[in-house]
Structure 1
Amino acid sequence: MDNQIKNDFCKAAEKMFDFCNGYTVVVWGGGIAGQFINYVFRRNNKIVDYNVDKNHSVYTYRPYIIRSLNPRYTRVIVSFPPDENVKKFLESYGFRRGLEYDEIGTWFGRKEQKVLGFENWLEYTYELDITSVPTAGTNKISEESHNFHWGSHDYKFMEAFDSLLIKKDDAVFDYGCGKGGVLLLLKFLVGFNVIGGVEYDEVLYSVAVRNCEKMGLDVTRIIHDDATKLKYEIDDYNYFFFYDPFVGKQFEMVLDNIVNSYNRRSRKIIIIYASPQCDDIIRKNGKFILIKKIEANCMEYPGINIYAME
């Protein structure tokens, strides 16, 4: 299953690259899907020449850059289901759908009006439940926990893990694993052999178990509990992933548990912390050092800090 899923994604990407092979590449759309496309190109050592968006920013050109490009030597990838205005604009300059331009869903099978990322692709391809907004669970969630995040920022997580050398004996644990989307990415696309996670909300936990069972994963490592109570359960892991699941005292207690786990079993420990609003708590702990910082490229996307045990 591991290789099959990775191969399925690579085949979809290769079809997109074939469409663009040898041409000037334009990605239309600077949002989540546009950033995802750029990441897939970078990860495969390929280049996007222009990013365009009607909401011009320092990262994109306005669409009128299209006027200066010859359709014969250009391919445009539209990162959203194109509306009539986009179609008319491109076609007015000689770009024909399926020939000089196409929509990303052509290769990745995206449903209409959805953003696109690795989790979305997994969800659509294998009929999982990852990105939909959940109904409220029955557990009472404290004010310091569960900052739910629903959106495909997963290419940023992948970028963080791409900067690390993952070995066959490494194991990763996701604090606040939600519906299990990141666990699936870490297993099938990053390549961890051992994955685990904890989720306090019983609705999300149940969905995570169903998703992981469907993909053939060992669900005994997905724990339904209060993260602050996990002690010996984390001794098998050396990578710990957080996407801003809790703050304050809870975060302090979890960090202390990781330190105590290290004291019981000395090993390399790495923390990957997305949207790191509690960086000060990690620094005050005194046992971790910031080794890499991946900046957010705009307000919509989370920055990521990577820490190592000193």
Structure 2
Amino acid sequence: MKEFYYDKLLNIRTGKGQRDNEGSLHYHPYEPTPYGALEELFKQYEVHSSDRIVDFGCGKGRVNFFIHYFHGASIVGVEMNERFYQEAIENLRSYQRNTKKAAGLEFCCCLAEDYPIKTEDNVFYFFNPFTIQIFMKIIGNILKSAEKRRRKIELVLYYGSEDYMFFLENQTPFELMEEILLPGLSERDPFERFLIYRLAE
């Protein structure tokens, strides 16, 4: 019900279609973050209008439109799949027609590891979109950007794998700041949660 409600409110189409399950060796199949999970995340995690968020593996842009509409932050969606990227662009047009605003919303069609981290990017969202090898490259890119400009940098992991967690906690300066459990879901599946990591000062 929430999937239909929010897509209609935002004038977008982000549900999973019948042909949306393709993946590759290192990139996992498309799966949009449930709107109910996003509701729970933002009850406990604060986004500021000054933040610039990057959603790696954004698919059709659900997280992007939700954050932009309800929290006013700038956000860029990075998607390697040309078809999903085009659907995100069509959603952007529909969203703009509905809300009359789209400033601060961008989509980039490229491999996640090829996205050039900008010095204003400071929050990075991952819904387990690829293997640890790709994740490690992206974290390396983020850390190089932090060397150019020190700033608050946070990672938001939904359904984060043990490989992601082990790497962050043992081989990077990121520290686990918060675990956000989802009522009724986290009890059945321990990975059904959000993990917030922050780059140590």
Residues 159-201 of structure 1: CA deviation (Å, up to 9, x unaligned): 2233233333111110100000111111112x13311110001
Within 5 Å, give how 1:1-310 maps onto structure 2: 116-117=1-2, 119-125=3-9, 127-133=11-17, 135=19, 141-150=23-32, 153-189=34-70, 191-216=71-96, 217-218=102-103, 221-232=106-117, 234-277=118-161, 278-295=164-181, 296-299=186-189, 302-310=192-200
Question: Offset at 1:134?
Answer: 5.5
Rounded to whole Å, the distance in 1 between the matches of 2:11 and 2:42 is 25
In the TM superposition, what whole-angstrom CA distance separates every residue of 1:210-229 from its partner, at most 9, and x where no partner exists? 11221122487210000101
Note the C-alpha offset of 1:246: 0.7
Count of matched residue pairs = 189
Change beyond 3 A, Cα 1:289–1:235: same
* % same residue: 21
**Contact 1:238–1:268 (CA under 8 A) maintained in structure 2:** yes
The two structures, once aligned, show a CA RMSD in angstroms of 2.4
Contact kept in structure 1, 2:64 and 2:105, CA below 8 Å: no
The code of the aligned residue for 2:180 comes to I
Structure-2 change in CA distance of 1:153 and 1:141 (3 Å): closer
CA distance in 1, matches of 2:13, 2:46: 30
TM-score calculated relative to the size of structure 2? 0.83
Q: TM-score, normalised by structure 1?
A: 0.56
Greater C-alpha radius of gyration: 1
Instruction: Give unmatched runs, 5+ long, in structure 1.
Output: 1-115
| Cα-to-partner distance string for 1:218-243 (whole Å, 9 max, x where unaligned) | 487210000101224x3221111111
User: Could you tell me how far apart the structure 2 residues matched to 1:134 and 1:195 are?
Assistant: 27
Deviation at 1:208, TM superposition (A): 0.7
Q: Distance in 1 between matches of 2:10 and 2:66?
A: 13
